[in-house]
Amino acid sequence: MDYLYYPQALSDLIISFSRLPGVGPKTAGRLAFYLLQHSDDAEQLARTITTALREIRQCTVCGNYTEADPCKICAGERRDRTVLCIVEQPRDVVALEKTREFKGIYHVLHGVLSPMEGIGPEQLNLANLLKRLDNVKEVIIAVNPSVEGEATALYIARILKPLGTKVTRIAHGLPVGGDLEYADEVTITRALEGRRQL
C-alpha cells in the first residue's frame, strides 16, 4: 500500500482512519491529508474526541451513553417504568425517542448474539437487565430483524418467560436486513404498534 512510503506518523494516521467503519484506504488518505493541511480543524477534532471519551460513559442502569449517571431517561420522572424496550445500540434509542411515541424506559444490549464476532450472552449487557424487571409489565424487544437479532430476541424471551414478564417483539414494518437507525419515524411507530408476543 501507498502509505508504507509515508512518514511513520502519517501512515499511522491513515491506518487509524481506515479502521473506522465505512472508510476505505482512499478516503483514509484524503482525511489524513486534509487534517495536516488544516491544523485548526485537526486540533479541534482531537480535543472533541478526548472530551467525548472523558465525558461519555455507559449508564449503569440501562447501558445507554450518557454524561450523567444514571442517564436522563433512567432518571426521568415522567417515564413509564412498566414498559421496557430492549435495543441493540445507543443510536437505536435515538431513533425511538425521535418518534415521541414511546414513553417507557430502555435497555441497551451493545450488540446481538453473533458467534462469528465472538459475541455470546456474556458479552451483552444482559446481567443488569434481570435486576430491572421488578415493576416491568411488558418487555419490548426492538433489536434489528437480522438472524442475529432474531436469535437474541428468542434468547432473551427464553430467559424472561419463566419470570412471568410479557415479552413482545417488534418486527413488522421494518425491512429485513434494514437497520432500525435508518428506518423513518413512521415505520418505527408502525412497528411499535404491530408488536407480537413471543
Partner 1 sequence: MYIKDLHLKNFRNYKVQHIQFQQGINLLIGSNGQGKTNIIEAINYLLTGKSYRIKQEDELILWEENSFYLNGIFNVVDRDINLESYYEPRKKVMKINQLSCKKLSDYVGTINAVFFSPDDLNIIKKGPQERRRFLDHLISQLRPAHIPLLNSYLRIIKQKNILLKSEKNYNLLKSQIQVWNEQLIELGLKIIKNRWDFTDRLNEYCSPIFNQIFSPEYNMDLIYLTTGKSLEEALENFPDYIFKKMAQEIERKAVLVGPHRDDVQIIFNNKEAKLFASQGQQRALVLCLKLAEMEIILNEKGEYPILLLDDVLSELDSYRRQYLMNYIRSSQKQTIITMTDLEEELITCDTPIFEVNKGRIRRKD
Closest C-alpha to 198, from 172, 160, 146: 160
179 vs 168: CA distance, rounded Å: 19
With the CA atoms of 60, 151, 23 and 63 taken in that order, what torsion angle do they form, in degrees rounded to the nearest 10?
Answer: -10
Question: Are 68 and 59 in contact, with CB atoms under 8 Å apart?
Answer: no
Task: Give the number of residues in contact with Zn ion, rule: CB under 5 A.
Answer: 7
Q: What share of the chain is helix, strand, coil (3-state, %, to 5)?
A: 50, 15, 40
Question: Interface with partner 1 includes 176 (CB under 8 A)?
Answer: yes
70 vs 62: CA distance, rounded Å: 8
Indicate the residue among 55 and 117 with the shorter CB distance to partner 1: 117
* Min dist. Cβ of residue 53 to Zn ion (A): 19
Interface mask toward Zn ion for 40-79; x: CB under 5 A = -------------------x-xx-x-----xx--x-----
Partner in contact with 62, chosen from Zn ion, partner 1, none, beta carbon below 5 to 8 Å by kind: Zn ion
* Min dist. Cβ of residue 106 to Zn ion (A): 7
Interacting residues toward partner 1 by CB under 8 A: 24, 113-116, 118, 120-122, 147-148, 150-152, 154-155, 158, 175-177
